A and B are shown apart, each in its own frame.
Chain A
């Protein structure tokens, strides 16, 4: 079982729609989480960091529920440029482990 699990999608939504992605993690020791955005054949780029209960940045809201071990990403008023793969990532620091653990990603296509 993968440590970070996401619905792979694809999510096909019209412009202006609100879309939510969920991600669950199995390692309760994970200290922080991130949502990365990856465009085809490009490197992952940090979208949002989630250290406590949540974070909001413009149209994007991330929430963390440690009790249930899930993280969500909400995108409001979707734009065509939001089309990408969204990677849920856990970061575990300590005991010599400093790696990111990626989910398989959720593909989003915003349709005109």
Chain B
């Protein structure tokens, strides 16, 4: 069965650079969520989109932005990267507002050096 696809799997960037992470939800899923998980930490909610509109916002820094496109894929744009941004970034998708079929992607591991 199709899963949530994230790209790239690994990314290494230097401080102050920009990174773009991509998430392709499960087909027919209309809701996308982004999470950040630091080493030894639980996933922290960043932002979510439902039907291409931002539906909720968590602890996303102002240096980050995200959007959901017409084909429901989402991109997380991260600028002025800091060492502390090094983490595993998960995307999840679900069907509708009830969270049906909530599924995580394999994550993108971002390392800022």
A binding-site residues for B, Cβ under 8 Å = 32, 34, 41-46, 87, 91, 93, 96-105
Contact = CB atoms under 8 A, between A and B. Distances in A.
A101 B43 CA distance: 8
B43 A102 contact: yes
A87 B45 contact: no
Q: Which 3 A-B pairs have the closest CB atoms?
A: A102-B42, A43-B104, A99-B45
Interface in B9-61: 31, 33, 41-45, 48, 50, 55-56, 58
A44 B99 contact: no
B42 A87 contact: yes
Nearest to B103: A46
A46 B106 contact: no
Contacts of B44: 102
B48 to A, nearest CB: 6
B110 interface: no
Contact of B42 (A32, A97, A105): A105
B62 interface: no
Interface in B68-113: 88, 90, 92, 94, 97-99, 102-107, 109
Given A44-B90, A93-B97, A104-B42, A99 B33 contact: yes
Contact of B43 (A44, A93, A98): A44
A96 B41 CA distance: 26
A43 B105 contact: yes
Nearest to A94: B97
A93 B96 CA distance: 10
Contacts of B106: 42-43
Nearest to A105: B42
Contacts of B90: 43-44
